[in-house]
Copies of this chain bind each other. A is one copy, B any other.
Amino acid sequence: VRADVLRFPLPDPGDVSSLRQAIATGAVNPREIVAVIGKTHGNGLVNDYTRGFLAQSLALLISAATGETPDAVRKRIPFIFSGGVEGVLSPHYSVFTATPSPANASGEKALAIGAAFTPELKPEDIGRQRQIDLTADAVIQAMRAARIESPSDVHFVQVKGPAFTQADIVTAAMAGGKPASDNPGKLMGLGRAASALGVGKALGEIAANHAIESAIGKDFNVFSSVASCSAGVEVRVNEIVVVGVSSKWSGSLAIEHAAMTDALDTAGIRQVLSRLNFPEAVQVSTEQASRIRTAFVKCEASRHGTIRGKSHTMLNDGDIDQQRHIRAAVGAIVASIINDTAIFVSGGAEHQGPDGGGMIAIIAERAA
């Protein structure tokens, strides 16, 4: 099989006309879509309904094109959306397809992708060992689906797990459940953290005896450098997409990743570009930028309140959530270097990359 990644602009979470046209012209075969990952217009927090709106819009479109029911589409294809296109960022979605094709004759590894889902998670499962372990299982399952043989060939694992509103949490508590937090936003963060530990455990980045509930929010030396975890009220399971390289796949796309040690770690960004053979430059040229298929960034406001010794104000702000601040900032830094604003930037990097930093992964066509 051959993996392809096509990015489409999103004028409105209900407007999927770009993909509709691509299906109409045959550029995308809707049955070959294996995942969609994108950035929507909302705030990326609990009350962000733009993710669910886009998911419903895509399910309808693909359902109409394939004859599947919308529910069947949503069970087959992970739709992973993160809200928040602050600053220069541009709303978009990247469609991943897998097309039958012989492996590369050269034996060169090519972009590989696989998906899996955990069972349904309840409010009391979020941020708990159960979420860690179920996520780890699903990551292994997704690696198998992607036919990626070694964890070192995995460069990006996107997880989208459930978020719950105040009403959901109260209902769960009244039924005897013990959610890890009664604050919807905080529970969202605990879920991202547990998911990250699950990814790290599956890939051997984190020893099983460290991939434990009690490390969450405590020991930030425990992290995965390929995990990118989001949460949203529009899903009820952890949806997992594993992206890497495999000799079983063909095509000319490659993926690389690196940790970002802090918000200003441009060296991490350049490292990924260098591995993908982009020439050294303050900014990727327009011509070279056309090789980039999509980019994923995870970032967070440093917990100790400073960046390179100077204070930031993101964690004291009652008007703008810290995630919106950091997405605007790190998103712009990455955009300015790779010369592309339609990138997936997600805040809330608990245990996803080094404390106060995060990670970046880029999918690009190999240099000619």
Q: How far is the CA of A323 from the CA of B310 in the complex (A)?
A: 22
Asked if residues A86 and B328 are in contact (CB atoms below 8 Å), the reply is yes
Assuming the contacts A46-B318, A320-B320, A324-B320, asked whether A336 and B339 have C-beta atoms less than 8 A apart, the reply is no
Q: How far is the CA of A316 from the CA of B310 in the complex (A)?
A: 31
Q: How far is the CA of A270 from the CA of B184 in the complex (A)?
A: 35
How many residues does chain A have at the interface if contact means C-beta atoms less than 8 Å apart?
80
Q: Mark A326-356, 1 if CB is under 8 A from B, else 0.
A: 1011111101110111100000000000000
- Nearest-CB residue, chain B, relative to A164: B316
Check: A41 CB closer than 8 A to any chain B CB. yes
Asked if residues B85 and A312 are in contact (CB atoms below 8 Å), the reply is yes
The distance from the CB of A63 to the nearest CB of chain B, in whole angstroms, is 10
Residues on B with C-beta less than 8 A from A46 are 316-318
Check: A6 CB closer than 8 A to any chain B CB. no
Main secondary structure of the interface of A (DSSP, over half): loop
Check: A170 CB closer than 8 A to any chain B CB. yes
Tell me the A59-75 residues at the B interface (CB within 8 Å).
60
Q: Mark A45-82, 1 if CB is under 8 A from B, else 0.
A: 11111101100110010000000000000000000000
Residues on B with C-beta less than 8 A from A14 are 49, 52-53, 56, 234
Residues on B with C-beta less than 8 A from A56 are 14, 53, 56-57, 60
Check: A304 CB closer than 8 A to any chain B CB. yes
Residues on B with C-beta less than 8 A from A182 are 303
Tell me the A206-253 residues at the B interface (CB within 8 Å).
233-234
Assuming the contacts A85-B312, A305-B170, asked whether A49 and B12 have C-beta atoms less than 8 A apart, the reply is yes
Asked if residues B270 and A13 are in contact (CB atoms below 8 Å), the reply is no
Q: How far is the CA of A305 from the CA of B168 in the complex (A)?
A: 9
Q: How far is the CA of A337 from the CA of B332 in the complex (A)?
A: 12
Asked if residues A318 and B45 are in contact (CB atoms below 8 Å), the reply is yes
Asked if residues B316 and A88 are in contact (CB atoms below 8 Å), the reply is no
**8 CB < 8 A contacts A-B:** A50-B53, A86-B325, A166-B304, A183-B315, A263-B332, A320-B324, A329-B329, A333-B336
Closest 4 CB pairs of A and B: A45-B318, A87-B329, A328-B328, A329-B332
